[in-house]
Amino acid sequence: MDYRSVTVGKIPKLTRIRSASDIDEIDFTEGIAEVEVPIELIESVPLKHFERQNSPRLQRLVEAIRRNGYSSLEPIICRVGALGNWVVIDGGHRVTAAKAVSQEFFTNLFRPKVGDLTFVLFQTPMSYSKLKPRVEISDDGPDSRRAKIPVDRSAATPRPTLKTKKKKKSDARLAALVKQRRSKRA
């Protein structure tokens, strides 16, 4: 079977982060980038919403990484947020567990259990929207976009948020559901 007709777009090339300054020079292909970050540099990555509370699921994952090591075959899915942060969509438990295991001395005594974390980033229309100056996107053709992210994060100006009708409806539905469940318990 010819899979070229099935492929939706171009596959992004893998960008390896070697220093904190490399984070600002990530190549996006059609709004998607694949990034490999060493565990030593994970603190310099602008991650958001990756911290997970201590749970049985997290403990099982930590034990599995201690036993077998971390495998980056399944990437961590993130979207680029309005301030340029990487908002974790899928893989928060893996990031939390990998960070915890990488900081353990005796677990990593003979060989490191965690090497590189692989991320798939995607941009949305709201990506970098709260940064000034706006992101400059240079087009080298229809399939290649390179975003230059401003490093000065102090220039961010928060935009006021408005509650939309959909949000108000979902809040009302949630309140009705909570009230219904409370009445069942009583």
Task: Note the pTM of the prediction, 2 decimals.
Answer: 0.64
For the chain, the maximum distance between any two Cα atoms, rounded to a whole number of angstroms, is 64
pLDDT score at 37: 92
**Residue that wins the pLDDT comparison between 169 and 81:** 81
pLDDT digits (tens, 9 = 90+) for 14-71: 889 898 888 888 888 888 899 999 999 888 888 888 888 888 999 999 999 999 999 8
Beta-carbon contacts of residue 91 (< 8 Å; ≥ 6 apart): 50, 74, 75, 76, 77, 78
| Closest residue by Cα to residue 149 from 163, 132, 161 | 132
Residue 123 C-beta-side C-alpha neighbours within 13 Å: 22
The answer to whether residue 122 scores a pLDDT higher than 50 is yes
Taking only the tens place, the pLDDT of each residue in 79-98 is: 998 888 899 999 999 999 99
Report the pLDDT value the prediction gives residue 112, as an integer from 0 to 100.
87
What are the residue boundaries of the structural domains of the chain, listed by start?
3-185
Q: What are phi and psi of 166, to 5 degrees?
A: -60, -40
Q: Across the chain, what does the average pLDDT equal?
A: 77
- Scored b (16 or more CB within 10 A) or e, 54-83 reads eeeebeebbeebbeeebebeebbebbbbbb
Query: With 70 as the cut, is the pLDDT of residue 152 above it?
Result: no
